[in-house]
């Protein structure tokens, strides 16, 4: 595996954490609902990368990426559903 790819992967983890930690909790729900499509594209990209993996390490990292991407998509839709439930009229 190319060390540059591993460096980019680790750097992306830190950048993602920093970006998400700076979002106020009040804005987190609308942002989560607005990025569900982006998460779907990321999940699809992870599946494509996993399909092209050549070594066991690449397969393991791809598998973890697909699992995390799936959890992110599922969580985004759950948050969106809870947010929309708050705006429904009560009977």
| Residue 52 in tokens | 């092209």
For residues 36 and 19, what is the distance between their CA atoms, to the nearest angstrom?
17
pTM above 0.85, yes or no: no
Residue 34 to residue 88: CA distance in whole angstroms: 19
* Band (75; pLDDT cuts 50, 70, 90): confident
pLDDT higher than threshold 70 for residue 29: no
Banded pLDDT at 68 (limits 50, 70, 90): confident
| Average pLDDT of the segment spanning 41-52 | 83
Torsion angle defined by CA atoms of residues 78, 37, 16 and 72, in that order, rounded to the nearest 10 degrees: 30
Instruction: Give tens-digit pLDDT for 5-28.
Output: 888 888 988 888 887 777 776 666
Are 31 and 23 in contact, with CB atoms under 8 Å apart? yes
DSSP 52: T
């Amino acid at each position: 595996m190319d060390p540059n790819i591993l460096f980019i992967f680790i750097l992306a983890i830190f950048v993602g954490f920093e970006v998400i930690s700076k979002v106020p909790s009040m804005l987190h729900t609308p942002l989560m609902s607005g990025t569900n499509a982006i998460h779907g594209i990321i999940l699809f990209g992870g599946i494509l990368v996993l399909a092209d993996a050549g070594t066991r390490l690449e397969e393991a990292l791809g598998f973890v990426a697909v699992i995390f991407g799936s959890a992110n998509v599922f969580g985004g839709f759950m948050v969106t559903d809870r947010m929309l439930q708050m705006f429904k009229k009560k009977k």
